[in-house]
Structure 1
Amino acid sequence: MAAEPSTKTRAWSIFDRIVAEAAPGGEHSNPWRASADGRPHYEPDFAVLEKLLGVPLHLDANTQSGVPALSLDVWLSYELRRAGFDPDATWPRPTHPRILPGPVAKLLQDLPADLRRQVSDRLTRKAAIPGVTSASANILGKNYLKQVDVIMTDWATGPELLISTKRMDSSYGKNAANRVEESYGDAKNLRLRHPLAALGFVFGLRSDILQSEPDTAEWLIDLLGKLGEEEDAYHATCLVMIEYGDDAFGDSAQPGGDAAGAGPPAAAGEAFIDTPPSAAEESMDASPSSDGEALLDEPPPLPGIDRPGDEDATGSMAEASVSTAMLPRVRVQHESIPQELSPARFLRLMVNRVLDTTPVSMHREARRRRREALAASQPGTSHSARAHPGDLGVARGEAGR
Structure 2
Amino acid sequence: MAAKQSAKAEAWVIFDRIVSLAAPGGVHSNPWIKNADGQLRFEPDYNTLVKLLGVPLYLKAGTQSGVPALALDVWLSYELRRAGFDSDQAWPRPVHPRILPAAVASLLKALPRKIRDAVADRVNNQPSIPDVTSSSASILGKNYLKQVDVIITDWATGPELLISTKRMDSSYGKNAPNRIEESYGDAKNLRLRHPLAALGFVFGLRSDILQKEPKTADWLFDLLAKLGREDDAYHATCLVLMEYSDEAAIPDTGEERPPEGVPEPGPELVREEDAPAPVPESEVDREIAQLPKVTIVEEKIPEDLTPDRFLAAMVTRVLAATPVNMHEEARRRRASPELR
TM-score by length of 2: 0.94
Question: What is the CA distance between 1:358 and its match in structure 2?
Answer: 0.4
Equivalences for residues 20-59 of structure 1 within 5 A = 20-59=20-59
Amino acid at match of 2:337: A
Task: Give the structure 2 partner of residue 306 of structure 1.
Answer: 268
Work out the CA distance in 1 between the residues paired with 2:100 and 2:76: 17
Task: Give the structure 2 partner of residue 332 of structure 1.
Answer: 296
Q: Does 1:270 align with 2:248?
A: no
Question: What is the CA distance between 1:274 and its match in structure 2?
Answer: 7.9
Closer, same or farther in 2 for the Cα pair 1:25/1:184, shift >3 Å? same
Work out the CA distance in 1 between the residues paired with 2:277 and 2:15: 11
Task: Give the structure 2 partner of residue 384 of structure 1.
Answer: none
Work out the CA distance in 2 between the residues paired with 1:182 and 1:21: 35
Work out the CA distance in 1 between the residues paired with 2:107 and 2:203: 36
Report Cα offsets for 1:255-297 as digits up to 9, x if no partner.
xxxxxxxxxxx6233248782417xxx79xx96x4xx26xxxx
Amino acid at match of 1:211: Q
Task: Give the structure 1 partner of residue 194 of structure 2.
Answer: 194
Question: What is the CA distance between 1:102 and its match in structure 2?
Answer: 0.3
Closer, same or farther in 2 for the Cα pair 1:325/1:113, shift >3 Å? same
Work out the CA distance in 2 between the residues paired with 1:311 and 1:76: 25
Equivalences for residues 117-156 of structure 1 within 5 A = 117-156=117-156
Amino acid at match of 1:315: A
Report Cα offsets for 1:205-232 as digits up to 9, x if no partner.
0001001111101100111011000011
Amino acid at match of 2:275: A
Runs of 4+ aligned residues of structure 1 deviating over 6 Å after TM superposition are: none
Contact 2:12–2:276 at 8 Å: present in 1 too? no
Structure 2 segments unaligned to the other structure (5+ residues):
none
Contact 1:31–1:42 at 8 Å: present in 2 too? yes
Report Cα offsets for 1:49-71 as digits up to 9, x if no partner.
00000000110001110000000
Structure 1 SS opposite 2:14 = helix
Closer, same or farther in 2 for the Cα pair 1:273/1:169, shift >3 Å? farther
Question: Looking at CA atoms only, which structure, 1 or 2, has the larger radius of gyration?
Answer: 1
Closer, same or farther in 2 for the Cα pair 1:133/1:182, shift >3 Å? same
Out of 321, 328, 343, the position equivalent to 2:283 is 321
Structure 1 SS opposite 2:160 = strand
Closer, same or farther in 2 for the Cα pair 1:245/1:272, shift >3 Å? farther
Q: Does 1:357 align with 2:340?
A: no
Report Cα offsets for 1:296-317 as digits up to 9, x if no partner.
xxxxxxxxx3244286335253
Task: Give the structure 1 partner of residue 171 of structure 2.
Answer: 171
Closer, same or farther in 2 for the Cα pair 1:161/1:151, shift >3 Å? same
Work out the CA distance in 1 between the residues paired with 2:307 and 2:206: 15
Amino acid at match of 2:12: W
Equivalences for residues 381-396 of structure 1 within 5 A = none
Structure 2 SS opposite 1:321 = helix
Q: Does 1:180 align with 2:180?
A: yes
Work out the CA distance in 1 between the residues paired with 2:255 and 2:202: 14
Report Cα offsets for 1:301-339 as digits up to 9, x if no partner.
xxxx32442863352538971322221111111111011
Question: What is the CA distance between 1:241 and its match in structure 2?
Answer: 0.4
Closer, same or farther in 2 for the Cα pair 1:146/1:274, shift >3 Å? farther
Question: What is the CA distance between 1:86 and its match in structure 2?
Answer: 1.2
Cα RMSD after superposing both structures: 2.1
Work out the CA distance in 2 between the residues paired with 1:347 and 1:37: 21
Task: Give the structure 1 partner of residue 306 of structure 2.
Answer: 342
